[in-house]
Structure 1
Amino acid sequence: MKERREKSLLYIFFLVLAVLQLTLIFLNEKTFGGADSISHFHIARYAFKYPHLFLDLWGKPVYTTLLSVFAIGGFKTAQFFNVVVAIFSLFFVYKIVRQYYAKAGLPVTIMAAFAPIYFSLTTSCLTEVLFGFVLVVSVYFFLRNKYILSAVILSFIPYVRSEGIVFLPVFAVAYILSRSYRSVFFLALGTVFYSLIGFFAFGDILWLINRFPYPTGDSVYGSGSLFHFVKKSNVIFGIPFIAALVLGLFAELSELFKKFSLTSPKTIRFILIAGSWLTYFAAHSYVWWQGRGGSLGLIRVIGGVIPLAAITAAIGISFIYEKIGNKRLASGLVILIVASQVVLFFNQNDIPVKAPATDKLIEESAGFVKDLQLKEKVYYFNPMLVFHLEIDPYDKSKSNWGIGDKMRPSNSMNYDDILIWDAHFGPNEGRTSLASLQNDPSLQLLKTFLPVQKIKVLGGYDYGVYIFQKVKNKTSSASSESLVRTLGIADSNAPQIVMHNKQKALELTAASEYSPNVIVALDELSEKEIIDVKLSVQFESETVLVEKEVLLIISVENGRDNLRYEKQSLIWNEGDSDWKTTELETRFSAAIPASSIIKMYIWNKERKKLWVKSLVAEVEAL
């Protein structure tokens, strides 16, 4: 009776979860994963039209095949595919946990559903959710002693996500310890299957190696701390989930060491479940630390093992029931943990999801191109552009990702073709610099989209979207309006103005944290699209100045709102002896309130003694 009531609660929870996620599919302004989600959707959406896409290794053959049916209905139905898979994954988590740790089944299922990364992945078109499903189903059949079926299913996991290969040796050890030696050979079935399919499609039996889409050497994305994912674990799992997970590992290891046997069922389960997700976690930590394999350090990749980690967390929940004699107290504590997982998720995440400024600029730029009503080809770098343009990304007569000639891009284009460069994908994945486009004598800049607030993206670039068109005769840039403002040092008799090296200069001392401001009001400029600001200072210092001691500041303000803030350190080395010049430049969208001002000054943060010969601001509206 109790079990039946619990299952009813489980099904009610799944129904509520499905309705919630479906609602968010329509309310979210962006999908989790951004351009990667769009790319996976496009591959699946057009796979029936271009069958080779079913074997696209970046898109992942298994994921593409299953998603393609949903993708026919459009992006939102494709998103719902992950909702369906996630619920089935959680159902298998429940069944596994119910078999060994009965009381923890429902609590840990709810906690897994509201693990921050997993919840976000559920409405995406990313591979991690299906990846977790294949993994947990393989474990489920293993624990039911259906070893060969388990091996067959797991053999296809590298074709859901490439790094799934790390599970094969872990499962192989578990099969051997369980004396199911034949199952080890079935772990190769998925690779044999796709090798043969690729041989007939491409005439290359080694196509899985020869067409591998990721770099095996150093990554363009850089590297980071070995403990990157550990530090981010609170936004991956959620703090209550982590508490249950750590407690579960402690309880399981304590039990194993009491009476250790390598072939005992408990040891094999530990190797299979905890061993798998820990190996995966460690592998991703290592490749990001070493900057290998195209790793970007994205925390979403850990979402693929959350269903499996939930089983270990269930041991922690079960441990609470075992060690607390008072059943009501134990149940109350577990309910508190589960409730905390859900409440913290909603408190720490913006639901529904708002689109970031970068996505909005991409959408605006796509709208601009659509309004041109041109029939020429579009070259792009960000996959979201063709999504918003609603064109077939695989029809080479209509669009093309990237550009062939990196030195002179127009050589790869026909006249009147459009090229849309963005600061994230353009210089990184596209390996095309903005300078090469600006200096190309056949590329005319049509429009620039910049955020008001500065956004740094991969590679340290300031984000912006630039739209070019190939033309026969490139014209000069659009008319601009310039203002030059200076701090009136030479003509001032203020107390701070002193003679230094026979020249008038503004003296900053320990008593003066800030210099006077140079201010330009936005309403002094005619209505334009882009504002360029260049601030220049000539100075001398009494002592050495290092980073962040004295700063040159450009601040764009509207009342109490700071819309943009730029800074540049003034550096004075021991050998410097004459007036030194430091410059600070910024460019931003003019789409800000007319009441805004551009305020420029020196911040003497560490109260050093220095002299300023000139402070000049050039503001240009384009």
Structure 2
Amino acid sequence: MRKDPEKLGLYVFFFLLVVFQLVLIFLNEKTFGGADSISHYHIAKYAFKYPHLFLDLWGKPVYTTLLSFFALGGFKLAQIFNLIVAVFSLYVVYIIARQYFPKSAFSITVLAAFAPIYFVLTTSCLTEVLFGLVLIISVYLFFAKKYLFSAIVLSFIPFVRSEGIVFLPVFAAALVLSRAYRSVLFLLTGTLFYSLVGFLAFGDVLWIINRFPYPTGESVYGNGSLFHFIKKSDTIFGIPMLTLILIGLVVETTDVLKKFSLTSPKTIHYILVVGSWLTYFAAHSYVWWQGRGGSLGLIRVIGGVLPLAALSAAAGLEFILDKTKGKRAILVIAGFVMASQLLLFLFKSDLPVKAPETDKLIEKSARFLKENQLNGKVYYFNPMIVFHLDLDPYDKTKSNWGIGDKLKPSNSMDYGDIIVWDAHFGPNEGRTSLATLKNDASLQLVKTLLPVQKITVLGGHDYGVYIFQKVKNRVASGRSETIVRDLGIAESDAPQILKYNGENALEMSPATEYSPNIIVAMNELPSGEIIDVELSIEFMGDAEIFEKEVLLIISVENERENLRYEKRSLLWGKDDSDWKKATVNTRFSADIPQSSIIKMYIWNKDRKKLFVKSLNAEVKAH
């Protein structure tokens, strides 16, 4: 039997890809998708213990069922499940492309594997990869004229990702145009199957609708531009692949319109491939623009149609290679495209992946609970807490997501119970404010974990993790020490100090860009966990001062490294006439080098004229 060198090369490529991804699974500090990946893993891991989880619509029944066997072996084995699915998907892409775009099949498979969003999804515990496999297999079966099987396989796609429902009318149209009328009815197979299973489990034949986990109205996550995913297309596909997709769309559209016929194979293939992935792309663009359906505008969702979009890229590359004369020239172009995709991906990626500070703080909070033997029931908002504590998230005697009473959370807790609030999940998904917890007389704040650098998360909240415990008698917070400093404007006889409006004032003229600094060194402060800084000013402007023209600055520095930078604009209007007060605050972890300093000053960025009556700093360690 004659060997196929291209297929041999494909198998070698898959082997190297798998080895590379396996190494990253063990070296990466975090998995793509963060808390969502952890939640899918937990649902699958505990589904055999709590069978109703097999029908959890957020977890996605098909994904949960297939992942569950791997999840029993731990999180890394669950990641390997997605890797297996991804490689199988890429192989199907190759098989289809080899039939319709033979010169491009191998190259497009490589491009898809190193499409930025698909590469990171490959070792997550997210649903997009299995979603892509179901879709590409359905297309493969359709092209093989196995219409009935194609319809049955696709019918289960809404139970891999809910938005898969948008493909049903597209495939229905393609089946009708192919005169496979009977197969159209089988697009309901998955829904009928799960409706029956749900009826037996819950006694509700409409459970899919009644238990739908996403809001149908406005989303808590807000909205964004209609062109959000278009603008992010290079990050999704990679520039080489995106360029080929655009060429392919033009080529295929032109080809279909030349001798347009609704029932021609080219038109049907166009509807099935281009129609499917563009409909999905447009649907996600619309719901993010409208702020509906729980959309967060995450670009990873487009990874679900990337294998199918790869066929459009194949059409673009095939067009270029068909215009190329000579086998060597074809190899050079194909090699250049693959190398460009790979090198651009590696250049822009920071591998192995480092855990962000937010994840590190969650892990630290779990370590704090273990080390201090705080063994009460844990109420949490970020699913990674129970992951790091190795708790069964469905055992309500040990942990509970969210809190029932959002007005007085302690009402839902027993004495000794713990609540771990984080600034991302707490106020958004959890609908619980930090102020509510602090104002609850039965909750004692036992630990605060803050990043050194400011991190602003969803809702404009400064990120932090706060651990509370329900107690009978709340005690005052521990010892703190405050350092108070000012510029000493009243006592100075420096030439910049003059009398203005009856007060000693520092004059900042257009020739003065910076005020003198107020500096507090970290080694001046007592040991503590948190540093609070407040810088206040009383000033007058000689003329109007607008946003960003004059800034009040707090800068935390260690030699040449800036650890934190907080600023506030000083504003002076034409109707202002008396001394005006302004304040800027910041709060950060004390876990920084003792050689660091806190530097506070005025930056007269646009060289305005103003007078400063006082500039006072208060730095507290606790």
When normalised by structure 1's length, the TM-score is: 0.99
Partners of 1:559 and 1:25 in 2: CA distance: 36
Cα distance in 2 for partners of 1:302, 1:145 equals 27
Moved more, 152-161 or 568-577: 568-577
In 2, distance between residues paired with 1:412 and 1:74? 32
| SS across alignment from 2:263 | coil
Partner amino acid, structure 2, of 1:611: F
> In the TM superposition, what is the alpha-carbon distance from 1:373 to its structure 2 partner?
2.1
Does the 8 Å CA contact 1:546/1:570 hold for their aligned counterparts? yes
User: Residue 427 of structure 1 corresponds to which residue in structure 2?
Assistant: 427
1:508 is matched with which residue?
508
How far residue 2 of structure 1 moved from its aligned partner, in angstroms, is: 8.4
> Which residue in the other structure is 2:471 paired with?
471
1:258-290 superposed Cα distances (whole Å, 9 cap, x missing partner)? 211111111111110011111111111111111
Equivalent position of 1:320 in the other structure: 320
Note if contact 2:534-2:586 (Cα within 8 Å) is conserved in structure 1.
yes
Give the structure 1 partner of residue 560 of structure 2: 560
Q: Tell me the distance in 2 between the aligned counterparts of 1:478 and 1:375.
A: 22
CA distance in 1, matches of 2:495, 2:394: 69
Supply the distance in 2 between the matched residues of 1:341 and 1:354 (Cα, whole angstroms). 23
Give the C-alpha shift of residue 572 in structure 1: 1.4
Which amino acid letter does the alignment assign opposite residue 271 of structure 1?
A: I
- Larger deviation, residues 9-18 vs 35-44: 9-18
Q: Distance in 2 between matches of 1:2 and 1:287?
A: 52
Aligned residue in 2 for 1:379? 379
Secondary structure of residue in 2 paired with 1:602? strand
Q: Which residue in the other structure is 2:92 paired with? A: 92
Q: Is the 8 A contact 1:238 1:341 kept in 2?
A: yes
- The equivalent of 2:418 in structure 1 is 418
CA distance in 2: counterparts of 1:230 and 1:513, whole angstroms: 42
The one-letter code sitting in structure 2 at the alignment partner of 1:353 is V
Matched residues in 2 for 1:494 and 1:146: separation?
90
1:499 aligns to what SS in structure 2?
Answer: strand
Runs of 4+ deviating beyond 3 Å: none
Structure 1 gap ranges (5+): none
Per-residue Cα deviation, 1:131-185 (whole angstroms, up to 9, x for no partner): 0000000000000000110000000000000000111111111111111111111
Give the match for residue 63 of structure 1: 63
Kept in 2: contact 1:509–1:608 (CA 8 A): yes
- 1:331 equivalent in structure 2: 331
Query: Secondary structure of the residue that 2:620 maps to in structure 1?
Result: strand
Instruction: Tell me what 1:22 maps to.
Output: 22
- Matched residue, 1:287: 287
Post-superposition Cα deviations, 1:297-335, rounded to whole Å, max 9, x if no partner, equal 001000001100001100111111111223322321121
Q: Which residue of 1 aligns with 2:518?
A: 518
Partner of 2:205: 205
Cα distance in 2, alignment partners of residues 386 and 423 from structure 1: 17
CA contact (8 A) 1:378 1:420 kept: yes
- Does structure 1 conserve the Cα–Cα contact (< 8 Å) formed by 2:497 and 2:506? yes
Query: C-alpha separation between the residues in 2 aligned to 1:106 and 1:2?
Result: 19
- Matching of residues 43-442 of structure 1 within 5 Å: 43-442=43-442
Residue 329 of structure 1 aligns with an amino acid whose one-letter code is A
* Cα distance in 2 between the residues matched to 1:291 and 1:495: 57
Distance change (3 Å), C-alpha of 1:3 and 1:579: farther
Contact 1:103 1:318 in 2 (8 A): yes
In the TM superposition, residue 257 of structure 1 has moved relative to its aligned partner by: 1.9
Which residue of the partner structure matches residue 542 of structure 1?
A: 542
Q: CA deviation at 1:92?
A: 0.4
Question: Using the alignment, how far apart are the partners of 2:48 and 2:325 within structure 1?
Answer: 59
Cα offsets for 1:554-597 (capped at 9, x unmatched): 00001000000000111112211111111111100000000100
- Which AA in structure 1 matches 2:620? E
Q: How many pairs does the alignment contain?
A: 622
* Distance in 2 (alpha carbons) for counterparts of 1:401 and 1:335: 50
C-alpha separation in 1, matches of 2:173 and 2:574: 63
* Superposed displacement of residue 374, structure 1: 3.5
Q: Using the alignment, how far apart are the partners of 2:166 and 2:516 within structure 1?
A: 61
Structure 2 Cα separation of the partners of residues 263 and 338 of structure 1: 35
Offset at residue 356 of structure 1 (A): 0.5
**Is 1:592–2:592 an aligned residue pair?**
yes
The CA distance in 2 between the partners of 1:209 and 1:544, in whole Å, is 58
Contact preservation (8 Å) 1:555, 1:565 = yes
Measured at CA, do residues 2 and 362 of structure 1 come closer, stay the same or move farther in structure 2, by a change above 3 Å? farther
1:242 partner amino acid: L
| Kept in 1: contact 2:516–2:601 (CA 8 A) | yes
Shift in CA distance, 222/362, structure 1 to aligned 2, threshold 3 Å: same
TM-score, structure 2 normalization: 0.99
Partner of 2:527: 527
Query: Which amino acid in 2 is paired with 1:35?
Result: A
CA RMSD for the aligned pairs? 0.9
- Which secondary structure does the structure 2 equivalent of 1:102 belong to? coil
SS in 2 for 1:93: helix
Q: Which amino acid counterpart does residue 19 of structure 2 have in structure 1? A: V
**Offset at 1:546?**
1.8
Decide whether the 8 Å contact of 1:321 with 1:327 is kept in 2. no
SS at match of 1:565: strand
Cα distance in 2 for residues equivalent to 1:546 and 1:107: 55
- Call closer, same or farther: CA 1:248–1:520 in 2, change over 3 Å: same
Stretch deviating more after TM superposition (584-593 or 536-545): 536-545
Matched AA of 2:283 = A
Query: Which residue of the partner structure matches residue 621 of structure 2?
Result: 621
Q: Which amino acid aligns with 1:6?
A: E
Whole-Å separation in 1 of the counterparts to 2:490 and 2:541: 19
Q: Name the CA distance, whole Å, in 2 between partners of 1:509 and 1:156.
A: 71
Whole-Å separation in 1 of the counterparts to 2:11 and 2:331:
21
Matched, 1:12 2:12: yes
* Aligned mates of 1:571, 1:147 — CA distance in 2: 68
Find the aligned partners of 2:546 and 2:166 in 1 and give their Cα distance.
47
Q: CA deviation at 1:3?
A: 7.1
Where structure 2 has 5 or more consecutive residues not aligned to the other structure, the ranges are none
| Preserved CA contact (<8 Å) 2:517 2:600 | yes
Q: Which residue of 2 aligns with 1:607?
A: 607
Q: CA deviation at 1:250?
A: 1.2
Residues of 2 paired with 1:372 and 1:203: CA distance? 45
Q: CA deviation at 1:83?
A: 0.3
Percent of paired sites with the same residue: 69
**Displacement of 1:542 after TM fit?**
1.6
